[in-house]
Amino acid sequence: CRTGAPCPARAVRRRYCPSHPAAAVRNPWLPPFAMNPEMMKAAQEMMAKMSPEDMQRMMELSKTMDPSMMQQAQQAMSNLSPEELRARMNSVGGAGGAPGGVPALPTAARPTAAASASVVSKLRASAMSVPEDVLELVEEAETQKASGNKRFKEGEFARAIAAYRQGAKLLQSVLDKKRVSGVDKTSVLELMDALQLNSSNCRLKLEEWPAAVEACSEVLARGDNRKAFFQRGKAHVQLGKLQEAHDDLQ
């Protein structure tokens, strides 16, 4: 908070500090258009409709996007009224095929084909020789992930969790036997993270807060992960553990 005083807003990532309204503290995770409360609500509605795949793609994109491109995307959204933003969200396909009808990002900011390559294709292109049975297990894990994403979009969260858990189980068998190493192992772990975080997102939808915390903690045991911190922080808020939420979301 600009006042320098402890700010409880950080525990729940509010846009403005309820204790120091004059400070108008900006949440650095949100773009400028969210300064308008109506636009903030519309953006939250948009994110609620996004699948785990769309959310992951947006988060990965935000980490690699050129700052000038980010500014262009934010400006495109800031020019819309709340009604226009909702109309874009509800339209089919949206401009440029962006998730939920969000205005399309500049061409240079979109993910490349290489960035979205499957883990199996990365392993097949690896300099190391990856056993065929490992490739089959990883391919099946990716199939389970796709199935889970489909169930998520259909609102069948329990069935989505089952698919994600099956995919994670297949990958764990690969990791337990130490069948991959180096960058190949990193690729498998990234897929494992995605499966567990998608499962956590389903738990949040089902309001199964302790299970969401557990799934995110498993990811964070392997290393820092911004999405895991965010999802676990949301669950901690719902559990009334505001100090833990503050630690995750700061």
Q: Record the pTM.
A: 0.57
Q: What is the pLDDT of residues 7-36, one digit of tens each?
A: 544 444 444 444 444 444 344 444 444 445
Question: What confidence category does residue 227 fall into, taking pLDDT thresholds of 50, 70 and 90?
Answer: very high
Average pLDDT taken over every residue of the chain: 74
Note the pLDDT of residue 128. Answer: 85
Q: Which amino acid is at 52?
A: P
Per the structure block, which two tokens stand in for 145?
A: 């992930």
Per the structure block, which two tokens stand in for 140?
A: 């099946």
Axis crossing angle, helix 242-249 with helix 226-238, rounded to the nearest 10: 160
Q: What is the pLDDT of residues 54-106, one digit of tens each?
A: 666 666 666 555 555 556 665 665 555 656 655 655 553 343 444 444 444 33
Please state which of the ranges 97-106, 126-135, 222-231, 237-246 shows the lowest mean pLDDT.
Answer: 97-106
Contacts with 126 (C-beta within 8 Å, 6 or more apart), sequence order: 183, 184
Q: How many CB atoms lie within 10 A of CB 155?
A: 9
Nearest CA to 114 out of 150, 64, 69, 149 is that of 64
Note the pLDDT of residue 105. Answer: 38
Note the pLDDT of residue 136. Answer: 94
